[in-house]
């Protein structure tokens, strides 16, 4: 059996998504008053367009993507937690944790922790500079948003 290329894999994913989308578009309730165009028309057109485009993509020859080969080779052979993909995963988890802890910890604390933690994780070793810059920027942002622009940001554990 011949192996599928990247475009063909992507085309299959889009085709499945398009079919799911079309199925959902068919379940959009009809408006009680008769109209020439209802809420479901546009999604149906979009679903079929995506399906047709995924067929075209299936037959399109994959071309090399500029910059795709620029993955940090050196880091790939380093410790598992510092490989390029591990960096993306750890950063994603840190963002998710930040989103969940933002309200209980407060903006200043959560943002400083995220900034200092990730900077250190990315390999910056001057921890004093890291803490001072992160805290300075976060505080400046916090004060600008809350005092100048009257935007509420959660205070959390801190009293201000």
132 is an interface residue for another protein by CB under 8 A? no
Q: Determine the length of the chain.
A: 160
Q: Residues 1, 2, 3, 37: which binds another protein (CB under 8 A)?
A: 37
Among 71, 70, 121, smallest CA distance to 91 is for 121
Shortest Cβ 12–another protein spacing (Å): 13
Q: Residues 8, 12, 19, 38: which binds another protein (CB under 8 A)?
A: 38
Q: Residues 19, 28, 135, 139: which binds another protein (CB under 8 A)?
A: 28
Shortest Cβ 18–another protein spacing (Å): 9
Give the Cα separation of 54 and 42 in Å (integer): 18
Give the Cα separation of 24 and 34 in Å (integer): 21
Shortest Cβ 149–another protein spacing (Å): 5
Query: Within 71-130, which residues bind another protein (CB under 8 A)?
Result: 71-72, 74-75, 84-85, 87-88, 91-92, 95-96, 98-100, 102-103, 107, 111, 114-116, 118-120, 122-124, 126, 129-130
65 is an interface residue for another protein by CB under 8 A? yes
Give the Cα separation of 141 and 148 in Å (integer): 10
Q: Residues 23, 39, 81, 158: which binds another protein (CB under 8 A)?
A: 39
Give the containing element (helix H, strand E) for 88.
helix 84-105
- C-alpha dihedral, 118 to 121 to 126 to 130, nearest 10°: 10
Give the Cα separation of 78 and 6 in Å (integer): 27
The count of residues interacting with another protein (CB under 8 A) is: 71
């Amino acid at each position: 059996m011949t192996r599928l290329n990247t475009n063909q894999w992507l085309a299959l994913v889009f085709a499945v998504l398009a079919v799911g989308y079309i199925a959902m578009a068919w379940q959009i309730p009809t408006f009680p008053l008769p109209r020439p165009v209802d809420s479901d028309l546009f999604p149906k057109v979009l679903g079929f367009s995506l399906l047709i485009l995924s067929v075209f993509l299936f037959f399109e020859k994959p071309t090399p993507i500029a910059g795709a080969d620029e993955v940090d080779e050196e880091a790939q052979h380093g410790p598992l937690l510092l490989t390029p993909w591990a960096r993306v995963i750890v950063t994603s988890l840190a963002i998710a944790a930040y989103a969940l802890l933002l309200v209980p910890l407060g903006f200043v604390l959560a943002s400083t922790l995220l900034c200092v933690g990730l900077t250190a994780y990315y390999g910056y070793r001057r921890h004093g500079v890291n803490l001072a810059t992160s805290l300075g920027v976060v505080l400046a942002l916090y004060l600008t948003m809350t005092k100048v622009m009257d935007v509420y940001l959660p205070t959390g554990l801190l009293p201000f």
